[in-house]
Amino acid sequence: MKFDQYTRLSRKTFGDLDESGTPTARFAAVPPELHPLVLAYIGDGFFNLFVRTRLLHFEQNKVRVLHSHGSRMVSATLQAYALRALEDELTEEERAVVRRGRNAKSTVPKSASVADYRYSTGFEALLGFLYLKGENTRLTELAEHAFAIISRKLANLDGSCEE
């Protein structure tokens, strides 16, 4: 990227700075108008941070354990599993966002099936949508429920409890 392009992008992203060095620009996009992969990008970041923060309730010293467990929890397969369990609880608007996310064309990694990857993209798009709309209560409710669903699934996979 050339310096001119970088400067324009920086100004567009962060806006001008006031006397204290704080950006003056604010987020102005309308979440329903954003591309579903942009919503999924934001939702992925949110859910990663949410899971990492929640895992601190169980472990504070072993970063390798936190990373390993956190990576498993945010995998496409387990996110898809959580979304399927949550589908009946979603509003029509939320289902429409999930559908848009599922139908968005993207490259599927080898670590997940096409169906699971599409569902996980829908899940992440939903979280991104709620985050950008500022619907924090609903966002936290769904993230907590997904965390619980995924935790139970991992416990069953690890043989810690019976199915």
As annotated, the active-site residues are 44
Q: 17 has which bridge partners? A: 23
Alpha helices (H) along 24-75: 36-55, 63-73
Q: How far from the centroid of its chain's Cα atoms is residue 101's Cα?
A: 12
d(CA 37, CA 20): 34
User: Which residue is it, tokens 């591309």?
Assistant: 35
Closest CA to 133 of 35, 21, 32, 55: 32
Start-to-end CA span in the chain (Å): 52
